[in-house]
Chains A and B, each alone.
Chain A
Amino acid sequence: MSARIIVRVQKDSFDAAAEATALTHGRSDIGAVVTFTGLCRDEGGALAALEIEHYPEMAEDEINRVACEAAARWPLEGIVAIHRYGLIRPGEPIVLVVTTSTHRTEAFAAASFLMDYLKTEAPFWKKQHLADQGSGGWVEAKAQDFAAADKWRV
């Protein structure tokens, strides 16, 4: 498997379109590009920002491991996975997954797999900052996220 894999953990924002173009530029064999961007929601106006803490020495390795697993499971041409940390305001992007392949089925499945695994395996934790100046505490892991990741286990 020779999918091109690009993984970054960064404080700054990213340009999803430019990242997708990087995987397809000059290629005429790719038939499908799936781009998923996860954004920070304002939770009906209650949330001022999310503060994302991460385990720097482990985060990139863990995302790489998940990306390699995706590349082993599906015939992909390329993967981009970017996860931000630090203070992120509503409307700003948090996470990006781009997958490319010859056909759409593999690109969709791999992108879905990557997001399900990033949520439960990559060492990131979200803390809420509320619009009324208070701390909303740490976001709790959801059972549905674990169930989503579990469905890929074979």
Chain B
Amino acid sequence: MRALYFAWVRERIGRAEEEIAPPETVKTVGELMGWLSGQGENYAAAFAHIKSMRAAIDRTHVKHDALIGNAREIAFFPPMTGG
């Protein structure tokens, strides 16, 4: 699964994207964020405030309880500030 990171999530982790292989017990987007936050200090910093984080599966916004299923691309980012 391809993970993409944007804005300060990208800066804190130190990379824009990577392949990730979470264990099968990780079923939802929220669980994946919890798992990622345990992958090192940089990840812990990026996912320190999981509640306010946003995510998209295969380029569609999803809630934290969404199932990852067979997602090919999952993106994590802060609330949007465009416009």
- Please list the residues of chain A having a beta carbon within 8 angstroms of any beta carbon in chain B: 38, 52-55, 57-58, 61-62, 83, 94-95, 115, 118-127, 137-141, 145-146
A52 CB contacts on chain B under 8 angstroms: 82
Given contacts A55-B56, A61-B59, whether A120 and B79 have CB atoms under 8 Å apart is: yes
Given contacts A53-B7, A55-B77, A58-B75, whether A125 and B56 have CB atoms under 8 Å apart is: no
Of A53, A57, A62, A122, which contacts B83 at CB under 8 A?
Answer: A122
- Chain B: how many interface residues by the 8 Å CB criterion? 18
B37 to chain A, nearest CB (A): 19
Best-buried of A61, A120, A123 by chain B (most CB within 10 Å): A123
- Digitize B44-71: 1 where CB-to-A-CB distance is under 8 Å, 0 elsewhere: 0000000000001001110000000000
Q: Does B78 contact A (CB under 8 A)?
A: yes
B79, closest chain A residue (CB): A141
A28 to chain B, nearest CB (A): 33
In the bound complex, CA of A94 to CA of B81 (Å): 12
